[in-house]
Structure 1
Amino acid sequence: MKKKFFFPDSYESGIRQIMRIMKLTTLCLLLTVLSLSAANSYSQQLKLNLNLRDASIIEVFNEIEEQSELGFLFNNDQLDLKQKHTIKVSNASISEVMGMLLGGSPLSYKMIERNIIITQDNGVLNQQEGRNVTGVVTDEEGFPLPGVSIIVKGTTTGTISDVNGKFSLDVPANSKALVFSFIGMETQEVKWDGRGVMNIELRTSTIGLDEVVAIGYGVKKKVNLTGSVATVDTKIIEDRPTENLLKSLQGTIPGVTIISRPGSTSINIRGRGNLKASEPLYIVDGIEVSSDFFQNIEPGAIKDISFLKDASSAAIYGSKAAYGVVLVTTKEGEKGQLKIDYNGTFGFQKPTYIPDVLNSWEYAEMYRTSELNSGSTEDGLRFSADDVEQYRLGSNPDLYPNTNWFDEVLDEQAAFTKHSLYLSGGGEKVNYIFGLGYMNDESLTPGENNERFNFSSKTKADLKDWLEVTSNINFIYKKYKREQGAAALTEFLRVPPTQVARHTNGEWGSVRNARKATAAEINANPLRTLEEDGRANTDTKHFLGTMNAVIKPFKNVRINNQVGYRYWDYRHFSFKSKKDGVPNHLNPSDGIISGTASEVNQMNMDWRYSEKLIYDGWINYDNTFEGVHGVGLMAGMHADTYTSKRLKVGRKNFGSNDMNAISGGSTDPDDQITTNKVDGNFALGDDFLEESTLSYFGRATYDYKQRYLFEVNFRADASSRFAKEGRWGFFPSSSVGWRVNEEQFLSHVNWIDNLKLRASWGQNGNINNIGLYDTYSTFASGGTGYIGGGVVPVLVEDRIANENLTWETTSTTDIGVDFMVLNGMFSVTADYYNRLTEDILIRANDIAVETGIGKESIPARNVGEVRNRGFEFAVNHNNQVGEVSYSVGFNASKNKNEIVNLGDNVNQLPPDGYFVLRKGESIGSFFMYEADGLYSTDDVANGNVVPYGKQVPEAGMVKFVDQLTEDTDGDGVPDAADGVINEKDRTIVANDVPDFTYGVNLDVSYKNFTLSAIGQGITGVKVYMDNEASQAFFNSSVPREWQLNNWTEENQGAHYPKLFKETDDRYKYNSIASSYWLFNASYFRVKNITLSYKIPQQLVTRAGLQKAKVYISGDNLFTIRGDQRMKDFDPERSSGRGAQIGMKTFTAGVSITF
């Protein structure tokens, strides 16, 4: 069937009608084009000036209509009438304004004549097609932002906005969102639905202003703090290859000095405030923990760390916070499905330094020189010239060895491994996080290593709208294992390179200095000690469990009840093995050399245990009235009870060196090693200690418009350490702050983010130096008495009680300023502090001899005073240049320490070795003879020599300074020297505590790469290298290479005195403790450099992961030393002779989130 066409009326009339329609259509099109042309001409000529803030879209339309002849046609259902717009333009076209107004929405507009019609954007494409996206990025004021990073989420595809804030980006198919980021602005993730225009407004970031900081029993916005509180970005510690949390914090906090010495790490906040211990208080999730617990927390478990440095911020902890508080808050789970985070580090460690010791022929030649200088003749020398040559040739190592004991005993490098695994997640009511950690820190000594296992869990449940319960568990298990004997640095230095370690036939060395070695010399062989001396291990367990219930009975009220249990278990085992004797290599027929065998083995065990039960309850009320008056109130109580036990036992004569049970030893009473009292490190026995504390505390805060800030704190503590009458200590504090930038006269200065002035005063206490039972007398058996005509033993009072003992009290005044500008681009924090510690416990020697009280029985009294004054500051800068973002920071602190009082009429306490405590001087003062270089031949020729007692020094010997000790004019001030070096000439010459510390940090990111670095340094500090560490031949020690530059008549500018043999009085004279043997321990050390790379998101997604990062890192990479003499010691080492070797660490790692 054919299709028919229908025309009305007739065929002809239909044609005519079509023609009329075409004519009318043509006319309409022509009129429309003319109209559009006129409209376009008008729109192109129209220029708008708009300055609107937080205006609705209707208000913007009205303003445009007011300035033009334009009208708007729209459907209300199409518009978001609640959205606010900020537009600030001058001489802008209507297309620019409409682009800013509708950008980022599915709306578009059409202009017909002088009407603007708002329509749905028909230009939105299917996401799978991909397209070019353009737009403008502005700030809240409507100004364009250049340098904004625009990245397609999950890819490396991106671009940067130009100087006008404009950008153009080809967005791949299936892209979900674009990410806009800029330093100082909040990063925005904008969903992409295929549209081609996206105009974005970025808002100023509040980071650094709204950042919440942990304080005692609560949190507070950092911007509202009135005390001196420093926080640490936990990113700094996450990837660092350290076995110790404190080491990871070096150089990051102003006013906090952390010295990472081999085997130990020390910390002081604002100087040493006490004659003894002055360590801060450590708080983890509201519970006090030990320094060892804190240092071994797995870094991945930490949410934030705060350092409370002044008395105002720390006073809420009262008696235990005199030297600052370190607050740690651990992470919580987040709402969402299960997330798994893994971080693994693998690497190795090498020594930061190894002493540069002499080889055997250098040693022999130097020893010859010392003997010749001491008057020996050639035939009486220990080493002949031929011996020196034989050592140099090395053809007979059984007689002429060249033993480097560091090479013989130590490995070149040691492995370091660290892993952590965290599982977290949660729902509407419950969130959780579980963590596991493992670290294996090998030693350079074979068979020696440290392992650590960490477990943590935190579960938080909203059981009711008014009840929130959190349970928290932390468990740390450390294992130190030494499968062989100990190898100490001192032992390496005491054995010369001319002693055989092991003969070529495998026997232990029995030759030293080309002769038969003595039994003592053979037994000092470090390699034999390592392999045969025995073994040891130490297990340490820390457990911390808390349960916290938060009740919210009313709006703005929170009642906290927290119960904590802390447990510590320490078990040390050591076994001294039997050893076979060493044969006489030079004369095998003599058999075993007498005294080289050990026929008795011995086992010692030391078990220590402590537990602490803690309760904290407090109520918080926070509210703001009329939008301007901020009020906060907090009151609470604390109670704890502490128990400690210790048991030490030992036995001899075990059937085998492989036995591990104490019961396997001899039951003979003579082989039982035990006493009835634990005393020091060696005596055996048992101890039991108990202590309890009760506290009440409170805080009140007020702010007016967050402009004027006020805070007061109070704490009252009672301790069982004191007698009943002096048991309570009271510790108040107050602080004020003024946010100057909130004042009306600075309201127009938009580039200042924060300018806050603050001041505080407060008091804290300290009981760490007071024994648990110092208020009680102790008795011991001793002496005799006569009863009934017979002599009987009696008890005597060996320690006199002091019932007047009370708290050591620290008062601190702090004045500070916080300054931040340009959206956080630059920030400065500075503080001045003055801290006085009073009533320090001292056994002062100001009791008259006539009382009959001996030094050991003098009761400790609260008579000491120490002052610390100083300043500290930190400067930080953040910026983004193109695709590079960076941050750089510098912090520094200078501290002056002074002993103010040591008791009535006491100017100085008896010296403790080469240290002394003297009124007006610093703690850690070296008390020794002052040296002025070495005597020259001219000094001797001119009679410019001061005798040491009856000994007259020679050229090349240390030149002691004859101090002004004589008062010739009777004014009480010494004005003349007495012409002889004696005890009166000992003086304070230097200090072993740095007076200036500083740190620098740098973080640079480019695309997926991030480079971070931390440096740390100290100045104004000396270290004393005692005996073997600095003096040739002391205890047969091995000279160091720097001592080759010793004094001769041709080399009078040498670093080392004239050589003498160790039995010579002139050698002993040179070895006297003096400033000559002090070395400059100032340094700057690159503590860490880490380079990381984030795996591209598309690769990560394909692998089924959320994110992944790989990194390489190094710790203690290089050091700039202040010392220019020895040069082969670690400047972070302590004074003394036996410091261990420091380590530098190189690692590679991966961080993955599933």
Structure 2
Amino acid sequence: MKKSNSASDIQRYLKLFRIVKITAMLVFVFTIQSFASSYAQSTRLNLSMENATIEDVINTIENKTEFYFMLRADKDILDTKVNINCKNALITDVLDQLLKDTDYGYKIIDRYIAVSKNLAESKGEQQQKPVSGIVTDQNKQPLPGVTVIIKGTTNGTVTNADGKYTLANIPNNATLQYSFVGMKAQEVNYTGQQTINIELTPETIGLEEVVAVGYGVQKKVNLTGSIASVNADDIIATKNENVENMLAGKIAGVRVVQKTGEPGAYNTNFQIRGMGTPLVIIDGIPRENMNRLDPNEIESVSVLKDASASIYGVRAANGVVLVTTKKGAKGEVTMGYNGSYGWQQGTGLPESADAVGYMTLMNENNINNGQDPIYSQDEINAYLNGTKKSSDWPGVAIDEFAPQTQHNISASGGTEKVDYFLNFGYLKQDGLWKSGDLNYDRFNIRSNVSAQLTKRLKAEFLIGGMKDNKNQPYHDSWLVYKSTWTQVPLWPIYANDNPNYLYSAADGDHPLAITDADISGYKKFNKRIFQSSFSLSYDIPFVEGLTAKGLYSYDYISDTEKAYKKAYTLYTYDESTSSYNEHINQSPSTIQRSLTERENTLMQLSLSYSNVFKESHNVSALLLYEESTGKMDNFYALREFSMDAVDQLFAGNSTNQQGSMDVDDLWEIANKGLVGKFNYNYKSKYLAEISFRYDGSSKFEKDNQWGFFPAVSVGWRMSEEPFIKNNLPSIDNLKLRTSYGVMGDDNASSYQFLTGFNYPDGGFVFGDNFVNAVSSRGMSNPNITWYTAKTLNLGLDAQMWEGLFGLQIDVFSRDRDGLLASRLLSLPGTVGAALPQENLEGDFTKGIDLVVSHRNNVGDFNYMVSGNISYTRTKWQYKEIANQTNSYNNWRNNYTDRYNNIWWAYGYEGQFQSFEDAYNSPIQDNRGNDIINPGDYKYVDWNEDGVIDGLDYYPVATSGYPMLSFGLTLNAEWKGFDINALFQGNAMSNVDYPEQLKQPLYWDRNALNQFTDRWHLTDPNDPNSEWISGYYPSTNTKWTTNYWGSERYVQDASYLRLKSLEIGYSLPDKILTKAGIQKVRLYVSGYNLYTWTGIKYLDPEHPSDTYGYLYPLVKTYNFGINVTF
């Protein structure tokens, strides 16, 4: 007997609850343990007692602290009188002074202190003074966050905001290690010193940096692939709700196009080298995307742009993005708070014509179409002299600004056994609707815990969660902007100017009604994401460097939507009867509920090996087996309402109810893979990496399920050769590298190799009953398999003068073969099926990435400049086309061996300057240019036959996403002040004017104000009056050729944008130290602040989707605070 869906749902949620509960308990226990273990090293005491007994001092310590003493001492010892004077002292200092003249010793365990004569033997070790000191840079500035550790142990600490540290319990003849990112590590032998001050010098910038690579990490100096990395500080320097937008302009080859600023929309196109959507890996697990992550929980983002991505096999053909979240570190607990408040402002919003402009254009349109003017001059004058006022439709429905706020709290720390990172984030965004019914909030939580269970066994438990809610009126934003921009300004907002009665316009889309959820209904979108992984790694004895690891992950994603379409009433006023006439809109009311669920699991078993032989030969290897499954389910239901008292499904009518599911969102898939990788480098001079992946996919027939995808890369650090090292000391690093690899993609519909039926597929009515129909799936298709992508990358890395200058160049190509397509052939109707897909098509992509950087310190002034630029273009090697009817169509539609972003249109030669100019030009209206007016668009007679027709289409521009992208980052710091500016842009990109920027008065609705800049007669009633020139042609919505697809509407979308600017100030450490605060930073920031572009009336990133009626991109202005405790 099968379990019901409800029972299985309950079990699923109980399982999730148990996982979350266990995780919360583990985090609580580990956190408490970490606090306790660091208490002795973090607690400071101030004691000043004269002629007091030892017992009195102990009681005072217990009263002032959380320490508890366990005493095995004679009464005369406890009554011994002592003088003690300690300021800001560790407990070890106090006890050493207290017991110095006795033969008693002590032992500290957590908050418990044992005092006994038996401990006197170890008293000498206990009485060792802790080492204190300060760590500075070459400019004598203190360095906070430097790791100080006893070599060979996990006992250590980190420097505070003043660069100071204290480390206790150091064995004699130990070695202290001092390390800091970007600085050369130092070691000092301990021989009983009480003070050790250290000055760290800069490492060659970035060379020792560790970056995430496929299934591991690697020093940047040893990379042989094209891998770019961005750290946490660089990411959060740009403030945005979407992590993908925060990466724009920061990584060469990564193109980010933000399509909208609508709260909760996450409508961004993110590509690597223009090759499509990449695979996103978060903490080693393939996941949907990264856009909803809290940026404060991200440690780094690495982008694999070449053959280095092939190790991920499935879906890696477009590159891979590796997101690493933050982990804990051994040491005292560090807590942080980040908060900001700001405003959003719409950009690129067009202005609608007022009443005078509308009436003028309507009259002109009628005259040009041989009709009488609609509005008299007296009617126009009534608006000119203020007797009547235009209705400001955008002004009543849309605000100029909307607030947003973001808060984040984190805690991290650890002991020798356990470390953890905890994070909670909250985001709140309001939309620009004046009703307040467009808003979005998001909650993020992350718990990353690792535990050293034994000397060789380590466990790691990573959990991430996200919950968001988007609320909006029933109608989407594109309809709001369409109705506000095109609403006729003569129409009143309220019937008879009575705010209780919204005026009924021709289409019923009243902006106040469709932006108000109480009037027209609402939509509520809720997304829940649970991500988890648990791993155990074991260092195998007897084989140094060999580690076995097992990992299991479980992810659950749910999307729910509730859509309430509410019937509402608009009104017109009848002056003759002084009554209001009702007009019912979108009746009947309906409620629709939908649910989509996804579950993904991943299991990995691996062996890894890393070792160094003879201090020169560095070897590492990995062998990994992986299995993954995924499944998706969905359901929706709809009911109509006869009354709107209760907005729930159960209250709807059962008549005409609907319930079904989307077949495309109902699937199960499985993949298996075997991964191997081998790395070798000789003294970080000669570098090599070989990898392979053997992948299996359930989407294909048994004989085609498996694909083998190898990769190889090599590098040569010429700077390590004597002929450069000895003769050109200014060169810090000079490396040549190359990579080649094969990647696969199983982007195909599942189970095409099976025969079967589609059910239900339509249906029939028999009597009073509707019966679902069955149809054939068509021919089985056992032959399709993976398509492959072969990538080649040649690279050069250079750094000079200790980081003053940096250069990175990559030249790359990708050759894809076996892209799925169906042959475009006609089949007889008797076949009863369409041709199946085949691995037919192929394309070739080539390009170049370039990064140039400069950084320097001038006294207290530190600055950095980094610029990147990337060019990519793709050509079809073979593209299936249908048989063409003539040679022109065959030439035009044959994409093989042709770039794939060619824009075909009529060429544009300008505007006709006179009727004579039109009569002497090629015919483009089929009437001898009789309907052409001065100012109308003149097209190119490309084939020179005297007629403008379909045979005159030719390539006029490039379309699609930008071929050239670039970014420039500027950072500077001076005496607590800091500034970060990011400029980002695209070039070699064109966009087509959308509907509202092509044709005014569409369906007699209002026009945008820019259409008043047009060719027109001085006196519209006198056809012989002088023509006045303008940007647009004379208004004509019928007999015209002005709206043909032509080069005239192709706009160069190149731009340079001040993407983000942040100015901050960190309060002086001397103010914060007394309050126990490490850092306080105040800042102001902006996003999308200014754009330089030649395009008119449109934001260059704003696409033509939904005819251009999209929620605009937004500028944001924030002020915030960062606090670290």
Shorter-normalised TM range = 0.7 to 0.9
Q: Are residue 579 (structure 1) and residue 568 (structure 2) matched?
A: yes
User: Quick one: distance in 1 between partners of 2:841 and 2:786?
Assistant: 12
- After superposition, the Cα gap between the structure-2 partners of 1:654 and 1:693, relative to the gap in structure 1 and judged at 3 Å, is farther
- The one of 962, 974, 979 equivalent to 1:1011 is 979
Q: Are residue 1055 (structure 1) and residue 1050 (structure 2) matched?
A: no
User: Quick one: distance in 2 between partners of 1:596 and 1:921?
Assistant: 54
Deviations 1:396-433 (A, max 9, x none): 4xxxx412222111122111111111111111111111
User: Quick one: distance in 2 between partners of 1:623 and 1:153?
Assistant: 32
Q: Describe how 1:874-893 pairs up with structure 2 within 5 A.
A: 874-893=851-870
Equivalent position SS for 2:324:
strand
**Aligned alpha-carbon RMSD (Å):** 3.6
How far did 1:505 drift?
A: 4.0
Amino acid in structure 2 at the alignment position of 1:307: V
- The one of 265, 268, 276 equivalent to 1:266 is 268
Equivalent position SS for 2:1006:
coil
Give yes or no for contact 1:154–1:1097 (8 Å, CA) kept in 2. no
User: Quick one: distance in 1 between partners of 2:883 and 2:823?
Assistant: 8
Deviations 1:321-375 (A, max 9, x none): 0011000111111112322111111111111232122211122122222222222
Q: Are residue 1101 (structure 1) and residue 1101 (structure 2) matched?
A: no
Give yes or no for contact 1:341–1:422 (8 Å, CA) kept in 2. yes
How far did 1:1072 drift?
A: 2.5
User: Quick one: distance in 2 between partners of 1:860 and 1:894?
Assistant: 32
Q: Are residue 363 (structure 1) and residue 358 (structure 2) matched?
A: yes
- After superposition, the Cα gap between the structure-2 partners of 1:570 and 1:939, relative to the gap in structure 1 and judged at 3 Å, is farther
Q: Are residue 674 (structure 1) and residue 659 (structure 2) matched?
A: yes
User: Quick one: distance in 2 between partners of 1:805 and 1:603?
Assistant: 42
Deviations 1:825-851 (A, max 9, x none): 211111000111111112341x24458
Give yes or no for contact 2:1102–2:1112 (8 Å, CA) kept in 1. no
Corresponding residue for residue 707 of structure 2: 729
- After superposition, the Cα gap between the structure-2 partners of 1:920 and 1:340, relative to the gap in structure 1 and judged at 3 Å, is same
Give yes or no for contact 1:1108–1:1150 (8 Å, CA) kept in 2. yes
User: Quick one: distance in 2 between partners of 1:598 and 1:524?
Assistant: 10
Q: Any unmatched runs of 5+ in structure 2?
A: 1-130, 146-161, 167-177, 765-770, 1018-1025
User: Quick one: distance in 2 between partners of 1:778 and 1:586?
Assistant: 66
How far did 1:384 drift?
A: 1.4
Equivalent position SS for 1:1070:
coil
Give yes or no for contact 1:182–1:880 (8 Å, CA) kept in 2. no
Q: Are residue 1143 (structure 1) and residue 1114 (structure 2) matched?
A: yes
Q: Describe how 1:80-119 pairs up with structure 2 within 5 A.
A: none
User: Quick one: distance in 2 between partners of 1:993 and 1:741?
Assistant: 39
Q: Describe how 1:162-241 pairs up with structure 2 within 5 A.
A: 203-241=201-239
Q: Are residue 834 (structure 1) and residue 852 (structure 2) matched?
A: no
- After superposition, the Cα gap between the structure-2 partners of 1:746 and 1:783, relative to the gap in structure 1 and judged at 3 Å, is closer
Q: Any unmatched runs of 5+ in structure 1?
A: 1-126, 138-146, 156-172, 512-516, 681-686, 786-791, 965-975
Equivalent position SS for 1:1119:
strand
User: Quick one: distance in 2 between partners of 1:181 and 1:329?
Assistant: 21
- The one of 482, 488, 511 equivalent to 1:490 is 482
How far did 1:282 drift?
A: 0.3
Deviations 1:848-907 (A, max 9, x none): 4458668x8332221111211110111111101121110001000011121221138879
Corresponding residue for residue 339 of structure 1: 334
Corresponding residue for residue 590 of structure 2: 602
Q: Describe how 1:538-937 pairs up with structure 2 within 5 A.
A: 538-553=525-540, 554-589=543-578, 591-593=580-582, 595-657=583-645, 659-668=646-655, 670=656, 672-675=657-660, 678=662, 688-748=666-726, 749-768=728-747, 770-777=748-755, 779-780=757-758, 796-797=775-776, 799-845=778-824, 847-850=825-828, 857-903=834-880, 918-937=895-914
Amino acid in structure 1 at the alignment position of 2:357: E
Corresponding residue for residue 971 of structure 1: none
Give yes or no for contact 2:266–2:291 (8 Å, CA) kept in 1. no
Identity %: 27
User: Quick one: distance in 2 between partners of 1:271 and 1:1134?
Assistant: 23
- The one of 372, 375, 384 equivalent to 1:392 is 384
User: Quick one: distance in 2 between partners of 1:359 and 1:905?
Assistant: 49
Q: Are residue 460 (structure 1) and residue 462 (structure 2) matched?
A: no
Give yes or no for contact 1:270–1:868 (8 Å, CA) kept in 2. no
Give yes or no for contact 1:1092–1:1109 (8 Å, CA) kept in 2. yes
Corresponding residue for residue 1052 of structure 2: 1080
Amino acid in structure 1 at the alignment position of 2:306: D
- Residue correspondences, number: 931
How far did 1:1115 drift?
A: 0.3
Q: Scaled by the length of structure 2, what TM-score is found?
A: 0.77
Corresponding residue for residue 308 of structure 1: 304
- After superposition, the Cα gap between the structure-2 partners of 1:1134 and 1:244, relative to the gap in structure 1 and judged at 3 Å, is farther
Give yes or no for contact 1:272–1:923 (8 Å, CA) kept in 2. no
User: Quick one: distance in 2 between partners of 1:543 and 1:1031?
Assistant: 48
Corresponding residue for residue 435 of structure 1: 423
Give yes or no for contact 1:939–1:945 (8 Å, CA) kept in 2. no
Deviations 1:579-607 (A, max 9, x none): 134142545556424x4345421011111
Equivalent position SS for 1:1099:
helix
Most deviating of 996-1005 and 402-411: 402-411
Amino acid in structure 2 at the alignment position of 1:416: Q
Amino acid in structure 2 at the alignment position of 1:497: P
User: Quick one: distance in 1 between partners of 2:187 and 2:380?
Assistant: 77
User: Quick one: distance in 1 between partners of 2:849 and 2:356?
Assistant: 52
Deviations 1:139-190 (A, max 9, x none): xxxxxxxx952246899xxxxxxxxxxxxxxxxx99999xx99998659999
Amino acid in structure 2 at the alignment position of 1:1013: A
Give yes or no for contact 1:614–1:641 (8 Å, CA) kept in 2. yes
Q: Are residue 1000 (structure 1) and residue 968 (structure 2) matched?
A: yes
Corresponding residue for residue 491 of structure 2: 499
- After superposition, the Cα gap between the structure-2 partners of 1:599 and 1:305, relative to the gap in structure 1 and judged at 3 Å, is closer
Deviations 1:614-655 (A, max 9, x none): 111221112222222222211111101111101011000153
- After superposition, the Cα gap between the structure-2 partners of 1:725 and 1:906, relative to the gap in structure 1 and judged at 3 Å, is farther
Most deviating of 694-703 and 623-632: 623-632
How far did 1:1138 drift?
A: 2.1
User: Quick one: distance in 2 between partners of 1:528 and 1:775?
Assistant: 51
Corresponding residue for residue 1127 of structure 1: 1097
Corresponding residue for residue 70 of structure 2: none
Corresponding residue for residue 960 of structure 1: 939
- After superposition, the Cα gap between the structure-2 partners of 1:709 and 1:645, relative to the gap in structure 1 and judged at 3 Å, is same
Corresponding residue for residue 684 of structure 1: none
Corresponding residue for residue 528 of structure 1: 513
Give yes or no for contact 1:1022–1:1082 (8 Å, CA) kept in 2. yes
Q: Scaled by the length of structure 1, what TM-score is found?
A: 0.76
User: Quick one: distance in 2 between partners of 1:268 and 1:766?
Assistant: 18
User: Quick one: distance in 2 between partners of 1:882 and 1:807?
Assistant: 58
Amino acid in structure 2 at the alignment position of 1:1153: T
User: Quick one: distance in 2 between partners of 1:934 and 1:928?
Assistant: 17
Amino acid in structure 2 at the alignment position of 1:567: Y
Equivalent position SS for 2:1076:
coil
- After superposition, the Cα gap between the structure-2 partners of 1:986 and 1:152, relative to the gap in structure 1 and judged at 3 Å, is closer
Q: Are residue 1027 (structure 1) and residue 999 (structure 2) matched?
A: no
Corresponding residue for residue 321 of structure 2: 326
- The one of 1052, 1056, 1065 equivalent to 2:1039 is 1065
User: Quick one: distance in 2 between partners of 1:849 and 1:534?
Assistant: 48
User: Quick one: distance in 2 between partners of 1:613 and 1:251?
Assistant: 34
Give yes or no for contact 1:899–1:921 (8 Å, CA) kept in 2. yes
Deviations 1:542-588 (A, max 9, x none): 11100011111031111121100011100011101121341425455
